[in-house]
Amino acid sequence: MEEARIARKRVYEARYYVQGPMHTDTLMSLEKLALVLAKRGELVEAEQQARKAFQLRAEKLGASHIDTLRSARILAGYLRDLGSEQQQAEAQALLQEAKKDMQQLLGLDHNETIASQELLGKVLASLGELDQAVRELEQVVELLSKTAGPKNSQTLEVIQTLASLKESAALQGRGSVKRLDDS
């Protein structure tokens, strides 16, 4: 894994030098470096690199560009993994905005929109906002069932997450959380 980190860093530095800090390939290399860092357990460094890529994309392309929105989701994922309440709250804000913009740009049933909504549901669960998390994840299951199929592995994974979330809510004495249909 160290070799992968070194290789990704070299690619990023070469692209930075040759193509400049704002070039699409440079920013992609920066996000790939962040991914390797995260796989090595270096989440703080991964978050820093992902934040840098997000900020540069927002500056170059605008806040509502699809590449910027993808970068926001990537950053939100690292913030979620870091786990502090403040980082979770920042991830929630990034994802709510990304989801809204992706719905407008790509539609409700686009895989990028669904991925942002799924991560938002998980972040909401981490923040203890169980009812809202269940609503988001039930919508994700519905969308994935239509787009990928009800027996697709991703659909089934979200169903698993949703079931675990409902079990946790019951164990915390919240009884059953409201279903999407009940609101």
Question: What is the 8-class DSSP label of residue 83?
Answer: -
CA-to-CA distance for 157 and 173, rounded, in angstroms?
25
Geometric angle at alpha carbon 166, from 69 and 170, rounded to 5°: 140
The Cα 37–Cα 23 span in angstroms is: 21
Buried b (16+ CB within 10 A) or exposed e, 18-56: eeeeeeeebbbbbbbbbbbbbeeeebebbbebbbbbbeb
In the prediction, which pLDDT does 1 show? 82
What pLDDT sits at residue 170?
82
Residues with pLDDT less than 50, the chain: 176-183
Helices 24-39 and 66-82, packing angle to 10 deg = 20
> What pLDDT, on the 0 to 100 scale, is given for residue 154?
96
The class of domain 2-131 in CATH terms is mainly alpha
The pLDDT value given to residue 174: 57
Nearest by Cα to 106 from 132, 129, 98: 98
| pLDDT at res. 139 | 97
Cα separation, 57 vs 158, in Å, equals 30
